[in-house]
Amino acid sequence: MATIDINQVSKIYTGGVTAVRSVDINIADGEFIVLVGPSGCGKSTLLRMVAGLEVISQGAVRIGDRVVNDVDPADRDIAMVFQNYALYPHMTVYENLAYGLKNRGTPKAEIAERVAEAARMLQLEPYLERRPRALSGGQRQRVAMGRAIVRKPAAFLFDEPLSNLDAKLRVSMRGEIKRLQRRLGTTSIYVTHDQLEAMTLADRLVVLNGGQIEQIGAPLEVYHTPASTFVASFIGSPAMNLVKGDLHGDRLAIGPAMFELGGYAPASGPLTVGLRAEDLRIAREGEVSFALRVDYVEELGSQRLVHGTLGDQPLTAALPPETALGDAINLAIPPDRLHFFANETGKRIGNGLPAPTTPAAERLGAGRLVAHR
């Protein structure tokens, strides 16, 4: 158990390609941090630098109060779970779990005890004498996790551990990882490109893009106040609608649609407006609304995703499944759910409108998150 400090860490490959640029993350003891971003954003490289599998070009990584830049991976007191499990194919499950302990000269009795404990925790007891070949994907993944657990390391590092599993198994393994991490209280860094995995697992999310941190924050914080258009479009499914708008005083124009912001004016002139598909709803009588021309509809069962155009800009709305649809529908959005981003930098402008006081429960967003999933 330990804190991990990633301090101004960069990775520059020979040839001058910068994969990770001056990253700062302070991870508290027992915290579950998820690094999320599209492929090639440097998240795996960052994790591998913490693991010691890649050389740190600049900056320092501290595990506990020890700088580990030049420490061998074996001596960093970390355990890693790989995407393709990386189990030793010629060893039984027991030997796989015991190998790391054996190399460290742990007494035999203690190895047996720790392996038994991990096997019990992961329900691997019936399979201890089998080889990885004879296991299913989920079981292999559990063995890979068991190999990390038995070592009782200061930190777990997960490198897209669920990517090779089918969708259903992924959901249940996600739950298991979360539960296990809670139970053991081990500091964890988890790399994924799946925003859903990131949202559900993380205590704090680190959104990376092009080797740089876009935003660090709790999942809901990132969801509700994305720091940039990149984060806005990456976190949440379907992706947040980003449309061109024009702000004059407190009046916002998006194509033909006009919104009153009631005195709120974070900027003026053209900017990018973000609207979450799930914040859009069918307009009630007399409400400020705008017309969406419907292109096509995706049925998800729990909701229907209506893809259409507002003026000449594409827009997606997540509506309840019973919604009646025509060629065009009238939509409304509470003004406090609008997000504003600068056109040039993509950075967030202002913190959005203060929410009206009444529907506080709804504002929490928890229910909504579940629904949109």
Instruction: Give the interface with other proteins as residue ranges (CB under 8 A).
Output: 51-53, 72-74, 78-80, 82-84, 86-91, 99-100, 103-104, 132-133, 147
Q: How far apart are CB 262 and other proteins at their closest, in Å?
A: 55
Q: How far apart, in whole angstroms, are the C-alpha atoms of residue 9 and residue 356?
A: 42
Looking at the Cβ atoms of 11 and 348, the one nearer to other proteins is 11
Q: Which phi and psi (to 5°) does residue 176 adopt? A: -65, -40
Looking at the Cβ atoms of 64 and 266, the one nearer to other proteins is 64
Beta-sheet strand order (sheet of 4-12) = 18-27, 4-12, 58-63, 66-67
Helix, strand, coil percentages, rounded to 5, for the chain: 30, 30, 40
Q: How far apart are CB 75 and other proteins at their closest, in Å?
A: 8
Q: How far apart are CB 145 and other proteins at their closest, in Å?
A: 13
209 token code pair? 């893009």
Q: How far apart, in whole angstroms, are the C-alpha atoms of residue 237 and residue 235?
A: 7
Q: How far apart, in whole angstroms, are the C-alpha atoms of residue 326 and residue 296?
A: 11
Residue 248: how many CA atoms within 13 Å on its side-chain side?
Answer: 3
DSSP secondary structure code for residue 113 in this structure: H
Q: How far apart are CB 89 and other proteins at their closest, in Å?
A: 5
Q: Which phi and psi (to 5°) does residue 20 adopt? A: -135, 135
Looking at the Cβ atoms of 78 and 119, the one nearer to other proteins is 78
Q: How far apart are CB 164 and other proteins at their closest, in Å?
A: 12
Looking at the Cβ atoms of 14 and 358, the one nearer to other proteins is 14
Residue 107: how many CA atoms within 13 Å on its side-chain side?
Answer: 3
Looking at the Cβ atoms of 39 and 358, the one nearer to other proteins is 39
Q: How far apart are CB 144 and other proteins at their closest, in Å?
A: 8
132 alpha carbon, distance to own chain's centre: 29
Looking at the Cβ atoms of 53 and 282, the one nearer to other proteins is 53
